[in-house]
Copies of this chain bind each other. A is one copy, B any other.
Amino acid sequence: MKKLDEIIENIKFGVDYYPEHWPEERWETDAELMEKMGIQMVRMAEFSWHKMEPRCGEFHFEWLDRAVNLLGRHGIYTMLGTPTAAPPAWIVEKNPEILPVDSNGQRKSFGGRHHDCQSNKVYREHVKRIVAAMAEHFKNNPYIIGWQIDNELGNSHDDLCMCESCKNAFSRWLENKYHTIDELNHQWGTSFWSQEYDDFSQIPVPRKTPTVHNPSMLLDWKRFCSDLVIDFQNMQISIIRKISPNQKITHNLMGFYDKTNYFKMAETLDFAANDQYPTGYYFKAPGQPPYEVAACMDFIRCVKQKNFWMMEMQSGPTGGSVIGANPRPGQNLLWTAQSVAHGADEITYFRWRTCLFGAEQFWHGILPHNGVPGRRYSEIQETIQILTPVMDDIHGIVQKAQAGILFSYENEWAIRLQPQNPGLKYDEVVFKYYKEFYKHNITVDFVASGADLGKYRILVAPLLYLMTPELEKRLEKYVKDGGILILTMRTGVMNNNNVCMSENPLPGKLAAIVGAKVEEYDSLYEKNVILNMKDWKGIGEHWCDILSPASAVPIAIYGSEYYKGKAAIVKNKYKNGWVYYIGTDPEEKTMEYLMEKILTDAGMFREKTGNVEIVFRKGRKKEYLFVMNHAEEDCVAEVPGGWNAEERIQLKGYEVKILERNCGNDKSGRQS
């Protein structure tokens, strides 16, 4: 029998499967259809608590054994989900206190999913019992390759939970962080509005107040919520690792969903997984722009700095109370190829067959309601055939990036709490920079603020609002050593506890590498501001830092408002590197102009390719160029030389072409 690692390395395609939703007579048909299609694994059981434990302590895994084994006989392995995203009615009946409470103080009802309080000790006992029982039961089943903990942790919990148990857990978390109440009062600045606490037990959760809560408290609440979710995951992981140390453990993350710090969450996982629905959550067509989907993949690759699995890849129209657009012919291949290009080693499609009942009865799977294979089945079958050899060759090899974007959950939370200007959103600013790299087909890493910065030729650190002395030092070193650093407005505004910096003008100590300081700032409402740049008249939005350059050279000067003539964007040589400080939020055309200049100066410029995304991947035997047309319309893509192809290749709407050459044949020296 093969070793688990070997098995896993070979798995490239799977489906999310819910045998409990279908008559057992059908299972065999499903397995045959899967096998025929090229499916090698299924995820199962992540919402089947009641089926596995219909009464407290009474376990029924027989049905799941039968499903696992039947699939196994068809060469299909199983990843099991712990079912803790949906505690059954009998638990809620017994312990109604596990139902979560929102910021209005309202206890939510049973009836959906994630109707749970993750800090609740009684609930955790229930969780421990089911997880341990599952792990024990399945530890020796040769078809079980591993575990997904819960499902999309953090999802559905946005305004939850603010119950007494969470209040107590928050108090303990704060005590652990600040040790004394005096220190907390000092760090939070509770002398404002007479909010001094005499004891940790007095501190509320952020339920609705007549006005607004202390921003330091709100940021700590965000941190606490993230830590709570991670702790809830890790509690499960440690149970499984103890019982079944060799099976792999992952979790299905959700791109840039921000309830939980995924860098921290992924630490205990064997590998990361991602859920992706490119048409978006059926709110608009044609769905998420392809650069955002690409960014999600890049992000998930970066949380563990290695390739990842897709645990839920859209296969059909999404839908709840309304139904999304039907994926166009070609999109299944396109989306799959894009995932692979950005680092997915495995693709699990959600879901095998469209469910007949429940809240997701219109969240379509590969098979339609009636179970008869149709267009989606064929397209995905073909997708598997096309991509399998490529995936075999590039499996496990991580893309290298010359460009990094420093991504910080804490900054995202802080900017969400206080956006500075109604038009500023952390993720939108991040995407704005990402998009420019994407247009030029430059691979990007998302970098945690504690990670190694030195490997990037260029590093964008957008909205670096919260600042620590350590980070200041690391950024200085990065530039000193030759890096190109891009900083933006609102850098260094706050210390790590969301308290304003008071010792220096903005951007604080970083002024030394920026070669300029912020004299004043202005928040823009009805008007934008003009930016005079070399042969370009640009537009800035939302925010204006009015810069006073020392050593820095202005590259954009305000052309309107009372600070007309003052510097808006500056560039500074610092030791072996360069720092750009972008004191406003450039609208897209201006950003495009600006980043072209910066990329040219950095020697990283490549021609833009319109709607066509081009990704280079190096395999063991060959090199690949994924050429992907994300538009509905046909187009002509210009590809670099050396690929045994015309320089201009035709692509139909939504078409993908994967060019190949043997390794070592690259004449352009391109690395990524």
Residues of chain A whose beta carbon lies under 8 Å from any beta carbon of chain B: 18, 20-21, 47-51, 54-55, 83, 86-90, 92-93, 100, 104-115, 156-157, 160, 188-198, 201-217, 282, 284-285, 317, 319-326, 328-329, 354-362, 368-372, 374-375, 417-422, 498-505, 519-527, 562
Additional A-B contacts beyond A89-B203, A111-B206 (6; CB < 8 A): A93-B202, A109-B207, A113-B211, A192-B355, A355-B500, A362-B418
Chain A contact residues: helix, strand, loop or mixed: loop
Chain B residues with CB under 8 A of A328: 562
Sample of 30 A–B contacts (CB below 8 Å): A49-B194, A50-B194, A50-B196, A51-B194, A83-B194, A89-B197, A90-B198, A109-B206, A109-B208, A111-B209, A112-B209, A114-B211, A189-B357, A192-B361, A213-B359, A214-B359, A215-B359, A282-B523, A284-B526, A285-B526, A319-B523, A321-B419, A322-B418, A325-B524, A354-B500, A355-B500, A356-B499, A357-B499, A368-B505, A369-B500
A55–B196 alpha-carbon span in the complex (Å): 11
The 9 closest A-B pairs by CB, nearest first: A189-B357, A192-B358, A112-B211, A285-B525, A112-B209, A109-B207, A86-B194, A50-B196, A326-B522
Q: Which of B89, B105, B194 contacts A88 (CB 8 A)?
A: B194
For A193, the chain B residues whose CB sits under 8 A away are: 47, 86, 112-113, 358-359
Report the Cα distance A523→B375, complex, angstroms: 17
Q: Verify A325–B284 contact, CB threshold 8 A.
A: no
Residue contact B212 to A320, C-beta cutoff 8 Å? yes
Q: Is A191's CB under 8 angstroms from B109's CB?
A: no
A195:B111 contact, CB within 8 angstroms: yes
Q: Is the CB of A89 within 8 A of B198?
A: yes
Which chain B residues lie closer than 8 Å to A325 at the CB level?
Answer: 522-525
Closest to A521 in B: B326
Q: State how many angstroms separate the Cβ of A470 from the closest Cβ of chain B.
A: 21
Q: How near does chain B come to A617, taking the closest CB pair, in angstroms? A: 29
CB distance A47 to B192 under 8 Å?
A: yes
CA–CA, A206 and B191, complex, Å:
35
How far is it, in angstroms, between the C-alpha of A570 and the C-alpha of B195 when the chains are bound? 59
A359 and B211 contacting across the interface, CB-CB below 8 Å: yes
Known: A54-B198, A193-B86, A357-B189. A501 touches B369 (CB 8 A): yes
